[in-house]
């Protein structure tokens, strides 16, 4: 049976707490347990609320699953008295890994979380076991990628807040699950705190930068993604040292939300622990 995005949010199932890092108090979901840690980085349009189906499946597969609201999103609060603002997601992740005593872990980033995952992987490769980048344009500075972003933009639609969910979520999911789509819109509209600045990458993402990443990497694509289509993701991912590819044909940009069963199965098989059939 396909898992539904109308399931309860992870806060109703897994423990959550604030963890202090320089400049912020991060809201962290942590399934606990003795399994290999698997850290999830959410998209620009979401919070830990987007990961419910992944928390359940990955925890049941034996992983210690960890996700956090980025600084200024969800329940993570900036604290200027304890550090500079707005910092970077990669630096917050490193501080969180230290606070939770995570020596090594798997890292999964989707969309904007994928930007940060690449940023982190190039900076702290010794921390990572395997890397997953899903539905992400990578936020590259190369003219080649900037031109690509411009070519796939939808005139009159791309960038408009009121229509953003229709680009973020694929047409198949919107037609099949209106309740789930409504919940996505609610999450998207409330994910970022009013006035919160976007965290920059620690260093700009470039082809030269990611070419240093030797970590085994899964590039997971949605065939119906209007913002990071497979052709775009393959354009930057070919510069990784050790990449493999997977695609969910009818998934849009919010691939984990739209097709959780397929997403989870692909990720778990890649990490080496198949999805439980119970």
What are the tens digits of pLDDT across the range 188-200? 999 999 999 999 9
What pairing do the DSSP bridges indicate for beta strands 217-222 and 243-248?
Answer: parallel
What is the reported pLDDT for 156? 77
Q: The whole model's pTM is what?
A: 0.93
CA 124 to chain centre: 18
Write down the pLDDT at residue 206. 98
DSSP for 20-46, written as a single string: EETTEEEEEEE--SSSPEEEEE--TT-
| pLDDT recorded at residue 163 | 85
Domain hosting residue 217, numbered range? 10-271
265 within some domain: yes
Residue 159 lies in a domain: yes
104: in domain: yes
Q: What is the pLDDT of residue 158?
A: 76
Residue 124 lies in a domain: yes
Q: Give a yes or no: residue 140 inside a domain.
A: yes
| Structural domain count, the chain | 1
Does 40 map to a domain?
A: yes
pLDDT at 154: 85
CB of 239 within 8 A of CB of 156? no
Predicted pLDDT of residue 161: 78
Give yes or no for a contact between 193 and 72, defined as CB atoms under 8 angstroms apart: yes
Closest by CA to 231, choosing from 169, 164, 147, is 147
Residue 3 lies in a domain: no
> Which CATH number fits the domain that encloses residue 190?
3.40.50.1820
pLDDT given for residue 32 in this prediction: 93
| 190 in any annotated domain | yes
Average pLDDT by consecutive 10-residue portion of the chain (278 residues)?
A: 40 82 98 96 96 95 97 97 96 98 98 98 98 98 95 83 89 97 95 95 98 98 97 98 98 98 97 62
């Amino acid at each position: 049976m396909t898992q539904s995005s109308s399931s309860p949010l992870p806060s109703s199932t897994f423990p959550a707490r604030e963890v202090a890092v320089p400049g912020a108090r991060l809201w962290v979901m942590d399934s606990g347990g003795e399994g290999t840690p698997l850290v999830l980085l959410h998209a620009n349009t979401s919070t830990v609320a987007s990961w419910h189906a992944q928390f359940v499946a990955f925890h049941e597969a034996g992983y210690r699953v960890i996700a956090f609201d980025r600084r200024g999103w969800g329940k993570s609060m900036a604290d200027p008295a304890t550090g500079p603002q707005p910092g970077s997601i990669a630096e917050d992740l490193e501080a969180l890994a230290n606070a939770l005593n995570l020596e090594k872990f798997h890292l999964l980033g989707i969309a904007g979380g994928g930007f940060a995952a690449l940023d982190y992987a190039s900076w702290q490769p010794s921390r990572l076991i395997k890397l997953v980048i899903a539905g992400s344009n990578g936020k590259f500075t190369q003219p080649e990628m900037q031109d690509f972003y411009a070519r796939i933009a939808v005139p009159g639609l791309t960038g408009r807040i009121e229509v953003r969910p229709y680009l973020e979520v694929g047409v198949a999911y919107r037609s099949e699950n209106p309740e789930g789509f409504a919940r996505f819109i609610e999450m998207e509209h409330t994910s970022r705190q009013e006035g919160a600045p976007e965290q920059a990458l620690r260093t700009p993402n470039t082809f030269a930068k990611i070419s240093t990443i030797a970590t085994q990497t899964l590039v997971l694509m949605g065939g119906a993604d209007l913002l990071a289509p497979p052709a775009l993701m393959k354009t930057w991912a070919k510069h990784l040292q050790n990449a493999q590819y997977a695609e969910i044909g009818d998934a849009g940009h919010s691939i984990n939300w739209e097709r959780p069963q397929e997403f989870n199965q692909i990720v778990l098989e890649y990490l080496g622990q198949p999805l439980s059939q119970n």
